[in-house]
């Protein structure tokens, strides 16, 4: 079963999370973003979820403390069988992780604040007693080190809850080697890799349409085969509308179909599905009565 993953949190005039959890075409929802990273042990990260939350932050931090729509809606999403990930990074973040100690602190903060409740009450609960299903690394710049350490630390926490399943995912740019996440992918265990096959002309999905050999799904498949987790699922990341990407990188559903058909069948075990940037853009992009994510779901189930 291949999945549709969407980013949620940065959409223009976006509806609340539960609206998207009611869409049967969506399987995985990446809540974006934790967009301020700690610079030292003890620093708190910061967050931004666009028009959601009430603007209040924990005293002296940039971590939102009033995300009532999100803490109210996560139970609805879980009830509807959605996987809800918390995404780190995004467009505005300065994602430098200076030392392994900071990496481990950051991982601990995320786990005690957004993982299973009741573990360590010296940490805040921005989504109250809700726990996310894992952490997504959307590292757009300044990355390159510290992520493997974070992920190893998070996985050691995951092991404390053997009856529960937690995931690690990443959203590298399509250019290889990805400056931000290559080290992490080689040295730590990812479950999902959704490559941003847009906004980078040298390797984007639009190259597939031109048949010029630059679309590099096969090269990414090899990266995963050689990675710390060869069983990681590889997703095709696409813009959900014209406006959602840099000009010229949008593919219509009809253009997506042959690409997915070929690679889903060339890599039946590794192919994980489609990632979309982002949820509200997909909702606003209706073609023949279906929104973009619905078209993607149809293509995956052809």
Residues contributing to the site for ligand XRG (CB under 6 A): 7, 91, 138, 171, 196, 277
CA 143 to CA 140: how far, in whole Å?
A: 7
The first and second tokens of residue 298, run together, are 């149809």
Residue number with CB closer to ligand XRG (223 or 245):
245
**CB nearer to ligand XRG: pick between 54 and 91:** 91
Q: How far is the CB of 284 from ligand XRG (least distance, A)?
A: 15
140 catalytic residue (yes or no): yes
User: Looking at beta carbons, which residue is closest to ligand XRG?
Assistant: 277
The full DSSP string for 200-258 is: -TTT-THHHHHT-S---HHHHHHHHHTSS-TT-EEEEEEESSGGGSSTT----HHHHHH
State how far the Cα of 84 lies from the Cα of 167, in Å rounded to an integer: 10
Contact 82, 130 (CB under 8 A): no
- Residue 196 CB, nearest distance to ligand XRG (Å)? 5
Question: 7 with 279: CB under 8 angstroms?
Answer: yes
The token pair at 119 is 């573990």
In angstroms, the Cα distances linking 255 to 54, 83, 162, 249, 296 are 40, 28, 42, 11, 11
Measured between alpha carbons, how far is 69 from 245 in angstroms, rounded to an integer?
27
Q: Annotated catalytic residue: which of 23, 95, 140, 278?
A: 140
Task: State the angle between helix axes of 147-158 and 100-114 in degrees (0 to 180), rounded to the nearest 10.
Answer: 40
Hey, what are 150's tokens? 């974070």
Of 160, 180, 164, residue with least CA distance to 107 = 160
What is the distance between the alpha carbons of residues 28 and 7, in angstroms, rounded to a whole number? 9
C-alpha 111/C-alpha 104 separation (Å) is 10
Interatomic CA distance for residues 111 and 281, integer angstroms? 30
Catalytic residue list: 140
């Amino acid at each position: 079963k291949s999945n549709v993953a969407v980013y949620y949190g940065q959409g223009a005039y976006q509806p609340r999370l539960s609206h998207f959890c009611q869409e049967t075409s969506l399987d995985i929802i990446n809540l974006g973003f934790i967009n301020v990273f700690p610079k030292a042990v003890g620093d708190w990260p910061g967050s931004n979820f666009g028009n959601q939350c009430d603007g209040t932050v924990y005293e002296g931090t940039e971590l939102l403390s009033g995300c009532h729509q999100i803490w109210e809606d996560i139970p609805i999403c879980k009830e509807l069988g959605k996987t809800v990930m918390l995404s780190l990074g995004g467009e505005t973040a300065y994602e430098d992780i200076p030392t392994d100690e900071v990496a481990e602190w950051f991982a601990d903060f995320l786990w005690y604040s957004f993982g299973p409740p009741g573990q360590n009450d010296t940490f805040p609960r921005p989504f109250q007693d809700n726990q996310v299903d894992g952490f997504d690394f959307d590292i757009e710049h300044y990355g390159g080190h510290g992520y493997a350490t974070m992920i190893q630390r998070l996985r050691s926490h995951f092991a404390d809850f053997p009856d529960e399943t937690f995931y690690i995912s990443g959203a590298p740019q399509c250019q290889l080697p990805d400056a931000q996440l290559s080290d992490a992918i080689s040295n730590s265990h990812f479950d999902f890799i959704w490559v941003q096959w847009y906004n980078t002309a040298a390797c984007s999905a639009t190259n597939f349409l031109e048949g010029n050999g630059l679309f590099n799904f096969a090269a990414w498949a090899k990266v995963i085969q050689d990675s710390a987790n060869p069983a990681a699922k590889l997703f095709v990341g696409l813009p959900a509308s014209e406006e959602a990407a840099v000009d010229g990188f949008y593919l219509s559903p009809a253009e997506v179909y042959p690409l997915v058909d070929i690679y889903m069948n060339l890599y039946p075990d590794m192919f994980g599905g489609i990632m979309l940037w982002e949820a509200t853009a997909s909702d606003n992009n209706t073609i023949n009565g279906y929104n973009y994510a619905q078209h993607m779901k149809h293509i995956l189930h052809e």
